[in-house]
Amino acid sequence: MKKFIYILLFLLILVNLSYRLEKVRSIKEKATEILYLPRGKILKNIALDHRNSLADFFWLQFIQYYGYHLQTDRKYPYLYPILDVLTDLDEKFLYAYTFGSVLLAHDAKDRYHAEKLLMKAMYNDPYKWQYPFWMGFLNYVFFKDYKKAAQFFKLATLEPDAPDMCYRFYAFVYYKKLRNLETALELWKYMYDNAKSEYERKTAEWYIKRTIEQIHMRNLTRILRSFIKKEGYIPSSLKELINKGYLKDIPEHPFGGYYYIRGDSVYSKIPKK
């Protein structure tokens, strides 16, 4: 019995110490987070035949790093360095390239590295349609560089296993060469359907809603302007458009907000939660 109490006592002390250490270390860790990241080419040699597992370890680090900064300062200075090391170790880590480039473009607003990462993917794994497709996607949706987007969508179509979607986007962007909300909506829907993680799905969902909101605003403004032209005055509300037969009904706001008239345009308001 005495021995059992001693062991229990030791265990209690250890648990207490561990808890205290956890607190002390967490303060330090926040300050010294990723001060040094070894070069991928060196790690590749050190990892011997366990390169993929080490890449997976960096992937877990990457997710934690991203998650932590997403909830705190929303600054991601090490996002690309981690992805660079990770893809040096595992040159075919498709999801790290695609998901990583979206995060770089969307969250870090770092076009240079988002494109650099996808260029690296295309160099390492040149027969995948996904990389030029995502390059086209980023250029179309985030960077609004339609010429470049068309070039990369075309590149994606050259791969034998490229889906029809690549041809559609290429044709659309190439011939129209202008921003089209319906195309953007289709791209985001593709991203939503093919999302592998909850975060990716939620991001796509948000952009889908936002694009729908913009489509509604564009269409309502078009109708409003035709009303003003024919009736000669600005209506007080959108309901007047319905009463006069210009509009069947007001479309449902994707974010739960409402549309209103200001001048000769229709705007959107999202109530604060």
Partner 1 sequence: MKRIFAIAKNTFRELTRQKIFFIIVLFGFAMLFISFFLYPLSVGEQSKIIRDFGLSAITFFNTLLVIITGSALLHKEMDKRTIYLVITTPVQRREIIIGKFLGLFMIVIINILGMEIFHQILIFFTDRKFDLSMFIALYPYIFEIGIIIGILLFFSTFTGTLFSAFMGFAFYVIGHLIESLKLFAEVSKSVFLKIFSYCIYYLLPNLEHFNIKNKVVYGEIPGREYFIFSTSYGLIFIILLLYTSSLIFEKKEFK
> Which residues contact partner 1 by CB under 8 A?
45, 48-53, 55-56, 59-60, 63-64, 90, 92-93, 95, 99, 195-197, 199-200
The least distance separating partner 1 from the CB of residue 163, rounded to whole angstroms, comes to: 18
C-alpha to C-alpha distance for 201 and 207, rounded to whole angstroms: 10
The least distance separating partner 1 from the CB of residue 268, rounded to whole angstroms, comes to: 32
Beta-carbon contacts of 78 under 8 Å, excluding residues fewer than 6 positions away, are 33, 34, 37, 65
Q: How far is CA 218 from CA 58, 66, 166, 180, 181, in A?
A: 44, 35, 26, 11, 10
Q: Which CB, 90 or 213, lies closer to partner 1?
A: 90
Q: Which CB, 196 or 225, lies closer to partner 1?
A: 196
The least distance separating partner 1 from the CB of residue 51, rounded to whole angstroms, comes to: 6
Q: How far is CA 260 from CA 4, 181, 209, 212, 217, in A?
A: 74, 20, 18, 16, 9
Q: Which CB, 84 or 200, lies closer to partner 1?
A: 200
The least distance separating partner 1 from the CB of residue 52, rounded to whole angstroms, comes to: 4
Q: Token digits for 34?
A: 């990723």
Q: Token digits for 258?
A: 């409402």
Q: Which CB, 24 or 48, lies closer to partner 1?
A: 48
The least distance separating partner 1 from the CB of residue 193, rounded to whole angstroms, comes to: 14
Q: Which CB, 32 or 45, lies closer to partner 1?
A: 45
Per-position DSSP letters for 205-239, written without gaps between them: HHHHHHHHHHHHHHHHHHHHHHHHHHHSS--SSHH
Enumerate long-range contacts of 45-51, CB under 8 Å, 24 or more apart. Answer: 47/89, 51/89, 51/90
Q: Which CB, 48 or 178, lies closer to partner 1?
A: 48
The least distance separating partner 1 from the CB of residue 128, rounded to whole angstroms, comes to: 10
